Each structure stands twice: as structure tokens, then as C-alpha cells.
Amino acid sequence: METMSEHMNEQRIIMTTMDMGPTSLAKVMLDWEEAYRREQCLRAVIEKSVLHLGKTQNVGNVRASYYRGRKTYDYERVGKDAPEEVIQRHEIVRIDWKAVCEDAGVSIDEVPYSQSEPGVTVKLV
């Protein structure tokens, strides 16, 4: 959380940018780079910690939202084993492999899937 004096310092920096020479501008740019790198480090620590906890965290005005990876079912891989007449009933311009599997009586547990990685987003709220 930003203190009043930090906010005032930022305001002074903003107000003096019109009068800034190359040396002062270079200093501000280097300060910004340092702050940006520090922020990226802190973000990485927060993301890794929240991934480990597996639960969204809220502290002050910061929210680190945890989200699970999504499953993507591969109906085509299993559906291709269905009888040809079942496949043809669902054939359009493309084959609806999910419908093929459902019609062929394939259980969801038999359908292979890929799992994306869980992730975290960090933002000020």
C-alpha cells in the first residue's frame, strides 16, 4: 500500500518531468526499470505460492486468482472405433466426435483428455 509521502514524491516527479534534463530522465528510467523488475519478481513469488496453495488469495487491494487447468476431451480418438453407421449418422461437413461417442455408449471415463496447467492471475482490485 502506498503511503502519502510516496504518493507526494511520485506527484513531484510527474510535475518536474517538463523540466527534466537527459541525466534526470535517465535516472527516472533506471528507477522505473528497477521497480519493474522487482514487481515481476514479487509477481512470480505470489503466483508460485498461490499455485502451491491451490486457492485464490485476497490481501488488501491485491487479488491472486487461482484457476485450475481445463480438461479437453479427445472424442475423435475414441469415436473412430465406433461402428461406421454410427459415425455416418453424425457426419456433416465435419464429424461430431462427442456425439459419436455418446451415441456409441462410450463412457466419459473412456475418453482420453489433455489437461492444461493450472494458473494464477494477480491484479489490483
CA distance 27 to 30: 5
C-alpha triplet 73, 76, 79: angle, nearest 5°: 110
DSSP structural state of residue 69 = P
pLDDT in the model for residue 6: 72
C-alpha triplet 70, 71, 74: angle, nearest 5°: 145
88-93: Cβ within 8 A, 24+ apart? none
Percentage of the chain beyond pLDDT 90 is: 62
CA distance 124 to 58: 10
pLDDT in the model for residue 102: 96
CA distance 100 to 116: 24
pLDDT in the model for residue 15: 64
Give which of 64, 53, 35, 50 is closest to 124, Cα–Cα.
64
First to last CA, the chain: 12
pLDDT top residue among 111 and 20: 111
pLDDT reading at 58 higher than 60: yes
pLDDT reading at 121 higher than 70: yes
pLDDT, one tens digit per residue, over 4-16 is 677 667 767 666 6
